[in-house]
Structure 1
Amino acid sequence: MSMTTYFSDYTNLCFEAFGDRVKHWVTYSDPQQHRKTIQPLMDGSLEVGRKGLLRLKGDRQLCEFWLLLQAHAQAWHSCNRTWRSRQQGLVGISLNCNWEESVDTSNSKDIEAAKQYLEFCLGWFVNPIYAGDHPQATF
């Protein structure tokens, strides 16, 4: 079993035990801060099927964030499929990102750097949820 499956089991337990009283759920609050909690689990033997992410620019952080998104998605789908009709609960994720703007608005490199920062900090989580994939600029 993967950690995302364990998280899904945990969220189902919570929905079952507290869903009659709790109507708003947050799977992760500021997931970028959670990477330290899952980093010890990253031993290179992922069973989630996207081992290629481990090779992206040598950055394990992308894979860790991807696992957090998978765990969130499983919790959301579980709530939607099993519990929403009975409990009318909602599941979300709380994202945090500093807003960055270019230092020199006439410099295209500054503008692009600010855009890339936002895509890494916010787009990496928002795009898969709303658009189905990660921003291409982050690869």
Structure 2
Amino acid sequence: MPAAKPPEFRRRALDLVAAGEPVARVAKDFGVSESCLRRWMETDAIDSGRAEGLTSAEKRELSCDAATGSWRPRSRSSNARVRTSPGRTSSQNDVPVCPGVGRAGVPGLGDVPGVEGELSPA
């Protein structure tokens, strides 16, 4: 995976596209793929309120720290990946699974009184 680009780098590319430069040319000049630049454009639109969706800050807040199994913002330097349940299709993976938390990534599910072991699938 390529290294993350600094925010100033991304901002310069986004400014050129906003000024009317073709996405393909800007992507080539900056050494990134068109799809990468388009993701930056989408993220910028959401973060600035021009489009609906989870902002970058909200995504960080909701991310799972797979190293510790806790639900908290990951540090920017973390390389931990959020996993989905093995053996399920993407449509069944509404909530990411995080090691050390209950079934389907629900924190504290194992602490429910009267619930023992795995729950049967719904």
TM-score (norm 1): 0.21
- Structure with more of its chain in strand, by fraction: 1
TM-score (norm 2): 0.22
Return the index of the structure with the highest Cα Rg: 2
